[in-house]
Amino acid sequence: MTTYQSIEEGLPRNRPNGSENDDDKIGLLSHIKRRKQFLSVVKVVIGVACIFAILWFSLIFFNPSDEIENDFEWADPNLIIAKTGAVASEVANCSQFGVDVLKEGGNAVDAAITTHICVGTVNAFAAVQSDRYSLLSSRDNYNRGGFMLVRLPNGFAEVIDFREVAPRAAYQDMFKQEPLKAKVGPLSIAVPGELRGLKLAHERHGKLPWKRLLEPSIRIAREGFPIPLELYVTMKMYLYKIEHNKELCDIFCDENGKLKKLGDIMYRTNYSKSLEKVAEDVNEFYEGSIAESIVNTIQSRGGIITREDLSAYKPTIREPLIGHYQGRKIITSPEPGSGTILLFLLNVLEEYKFHETGRTALNVQRMAEAFKYAIARRTELGDPAFFKNITAHKERINEIISKEYAARIRANLSDTHTFVPSHYDPEYATLEDHGTTHISVVDSDEMAVSMTATLNHFWGSQVMDPNTGILFNDQMDDFAIPVPPSIERFWPAPHNFVAPGKKPMSSTSPTIIERPDGRFEMAVGASGGTRIMSAVTQTLLNIYEFNMNVLEAIDYPRLYHPLLPNELFVESGFSFDILERLIKIGHVLQVISERME
């Protein structure tokens, strides 16, 4: 979920009247389950004397308040107009902490760091699962990796890549005989990069002291906070797992060893102590006492991460990918992120001029076919440092994001037929990745941040260090495993095989958009694994082609095609005529109803 706070109170639109009741909560849960991923959007309209931020206000939010003890309110999404600056995240109190940083003279990078650490503190252990039913956002602690796209007031932009890497002792065939070990357990843990990535961003662009940015998270972890809905839902889903895992139960269970309830106070005492150490020196995580505890825990369970792995980790500064859509500049993340695919999709769909004809069955068919081509192109991506011919690979990426290549794809895109996966010419088998959390921030100087990070599966590796309060990721599962071809006869992608120091491929696509006059317009990103690329694309189409406001654009039903299996997933809300036409064309539809269990 994405929640927002602005420097001012803001002007909510379409806010429901009346008090909450059980029926409201049931309806809300159904709505949450309907959304497969959540987008975070900050859109800024420049006026003569001020900046207005238009954001999606999520289903669950806090009233603007300095009181940690406030209970959650329940509401439908709201469109908010606010002056000067804004923060969009999944937890409104965390967004408010980011706004507090802006009020104190901090900038967008400072606010993003504060908000991000807070989200990982409050929504501990929750994750997006990339099946058709899952809806919660992935985060925990600072054991993640991701990408921060920063746009400075002068228009300069860069990407800080803090994606996890494979340990030095990792090797290509390590999961070949037992693939499940890539998903669960100590071998699934990759070397985390988040803290060094955030610290690098702060050193390059931050204003307030590093320690100040972590203070809100330290406080709520130590003093406790009410369990929010989405965390409670995931706790209930995995009740047995929690109650039979001592480390987890120490946090999520009451004194009788039973799962805590919605609104009960949760304490993360050991985690707060770890945060205090990190606030003094980030290297405590990579080289100090925290590193020692992390390595001892992982190795005692049979893992391979070493002190040398942690101390050697360094984030990477990358040039963003640049594209153009309707005269706007699209700034997005390069590999191992998937901004390449976002630009590809926008290029393919731009020339159809959907704004002239509206959301017809023909235009939905064109989107679906474009998504199939996009997933096929994603199989060519990976860690750019590990391609055998780096120059040739760069040339291929430049080709994929070109208008000329998009024109060739459009020429082959059928308005009347859909095809088997091989028609779309994937080089290798497709690979699903999993959950993310996204934060968007803009400040009064038009510095903007779009940041996406991930722990991967729900509960990550399911290995937790009780001394530090840190739950470890399972990012090794994002690598391809060298096994024989699937029934579709596609081999796994060798450029995404495990190798020491390698970063697994990611679907994250943090994006910033500039108006035709070069001024900042929007920061956008999403959660939901491989659904991210099509979700962001459809949201931008809704805004720029179908003339929706940001709230309408995000809440409108979406479709998604994974290529393998060859099924088109469609959220409820599309007209019967459109669905009937898609079936006649030959699509196998999976309609996602509003109520899924």
CB proximity list for 565: less than 8 A, separation 6 or greater = none
> What are the tokens at 223?
């003093």
Has 102 been labeled as part of a binding site?
no
CB-based contact 524:468 (threshold 8 Å): no
Question: Token match 């794809």: residue?
Answer: 409
For residues 142 and 313, give the distance between their C-alpha atoms in angstroms, rounded to a whole number.
14
CB count within 10 Å of CB 574 equals 19
CB-based contact 120:427 (threshold 8 Å): no
For residues 2 and 427, give the distance between their C-alpha atoms in angstroms, rounded to a whole number.
35
Residue 226 host element (H or E): strand 225-226
Is residue 273 classed exposed, middle or buried when 0-12, 13-18 and 19+ CB atoms within 10 A define those classes? middle
Has 163 been labeled as part of a binding site?
yes
Strands (E), 354-478: 437-442, 448-454, 464-465, 470-471
Has 564 been labeled as part of a binding site?
no
For residues 576 and 319, give the distance between their C-alpha atoms in angstroms, rounded to a whole number.
44
For residues 155 and 314, give the distance between their C-alpha atoms in angstroms, rounded to a whole number.
26
Active-site annotation, residues: 436
Has 437 been labeled as part of a binding site?
no
Going by C-alpha positions, the residue among 171, 113, 142 that lies closest to residue 310 is: 142
* Residue 201 to residues 149, 152, 272, 319, Cα–Cα distance (Å): 10, 12, 22, 14
Has 577 been labeled as part of a binding site?
no
What is the b/e burial string over 278-299, where b = at least 16 CB atoms within 10 angstroms of the residue's CB?
Answer: bbeebbbbbebebbebbbebbe
Strand partners, 53: 44, 82
CB proximity list for 436: less than 8 A, separation 6 or greater = 128, 137, 138, 146, 452, 453, 454, 507, 508, 526, 527, 528, 529, 532
Has 212 been labeled as part of a binding site?
no
Q: Mind giving me the DSSP string for 152-206?
A: -TTS-EEEEE---B--TT--TTTTSS-GGGGTSSGGGPPBP-HHHHHHHHHHHH-
Has 478 been labeled as part of a binding site?
yes
> What are the tokens at 514?
């500039």
CB-based contact 322:492 (threshold 8 Å): no
CB-based contact 439:131 (threshold 8 Å): no
For residues 191 and 286, give the distance between their C-alpha atoms in angstroms, rounded to a whole number.
10
For residues 557 and 359, give the distance between their C-alpha atoms in angstroms, rounded to a whole number.
12
Has 143 been labeled as part of a binding site?
no
What region does 581 belong to: left with phi over 0, alpha with psi -120 to 50, or beta?
alpha
Which residues sit in the known binding site for L-glutamate? 163, 454-456, 478, 506-507, 529
Binding-site positions read 163, 454-456, 478, 506-507, 529
